[in-house]
Amino acid sequence: MTLSYDGTRYRGWQRLPNAETVQGRVEAILSEIFAQPIEIDGSGRTDAGVHARMQVVSFEAEQLPIKKVLSQLRSLLPADIGAINLRYAPERFHARLSATEKTYTYHIHNSASPDVFMRKYRVQIVQRLDVELMRQAAQRLCGTHDFIAFCSNKHYKKSSVRTIKHIKIEESDENLTISMCADGFLYNMARILVGTLLEIGLGKREIDSIDEIFASKRRETAGETAPAKGLCLTEVRYEHTDFR
């Protein structure tokens, strides 16, 4: 199943006790439809306030007519969560573990004049950004590296090596989008990458500091964690399955 959602009023994707989360809300509705407890796995555990255009979800349940389930799901979901499609997946498919590539996009409004209609989805930066310098810095972040310095989890024990396939920075009038494609992201990694690039674009750090960040393997050497509202999970890819 593929979902899209506005993460503004949610405490993130992952189910939490006594908190409104996307996973918790969807599980409750699916459990009602199937009349049995349903647990779902998402392709990415988006943070509080982060949005998704393509959150792939896998779950196991008894067979019911797909069109009927999708129709019921759409009628019961709140307006800020949308069910895009629903289909049978290959055996042993797992939305997160089977993913080979994820793309996050960060949206910035680079202007002194606020964009009131997009304020929930773009971060406003008044000072003019040096976009070309940011593009040069982005190239240094690409490739296979240990990204532990770009992770907010101080107790992360698994491999923190990831491969960033590309970072594209595009301008359109006063709006800027930073698109990051990788084989996986650590906790807060996408937002810390953006925060680091923004500091370079604002002249607060040098491009060469990226090499120092990788060498240090310490979170405090990287940039600040960029605000959640500008980030959106935009695409998830799998080896033999297309959920777009």
Residues 123-156: tens digit of each pLDDT: 999 999 999 999 999 999 999 999 999 999 888 8
Q: Give the whole-angstrom CA distance, residue 214 versus residue 141.
A: 9
Residue 9 sits in a domain whose CATH number is 3.30.70.580
In a domain, 10, yes or no: yes
Range of the domain at 61: 2-97
Last residue of some domain: 64, 97, 130?
Answer: 97
Q: Do both 43 and 148 map to the same domain?
A: no
Q: Do both 47 and 58 map to the same domain?
A: yes
pLDDT of res. 155: 81
Pairing of strands 175-182, 143-146: unpaired
What pTM does this model have?
Answer: 0.95
The half-sphere exposure of 43 on its side-chain side, counting CA atoms within 13 A, is 28
Q: Do both 105 and 192 map to the same domain?
A: yes
189 and 162 Cβ atoms separated by less than 8 Å: yes
- How many Cβ atoms sit within 10 Å of the Cβ of residue 69? 18
**Number of domains forming the structure of the chain:** 2
Annotated catalytic residue: which of 41, 47, 115, 208? 47
In a domain, 242, yes or no: no
Q: Do both 119 and 203 map to the same domain?
A: yes
Pick from 26, 14, 8, 153: nearest CA to 77: 26
47 catalytic, yes or no?
yes
Residue 69 is inside which H or E element, if any?
A: helix 66-76
Q: Do both 37 and 158 map to the same domain?
A: no
pLDDT tens-place string over residues 22-66: 999 999 999 999 999 999 999 999 999 999 999 999 999 988 899
50 and 231 Cβ atoms separated by less than 8 Å: yes
Segment 220-237 mean pLDDT: 98
pLDDT of res. 64: 84
Residue 211 is inside which H or E element, if any?
A: helix 209-216
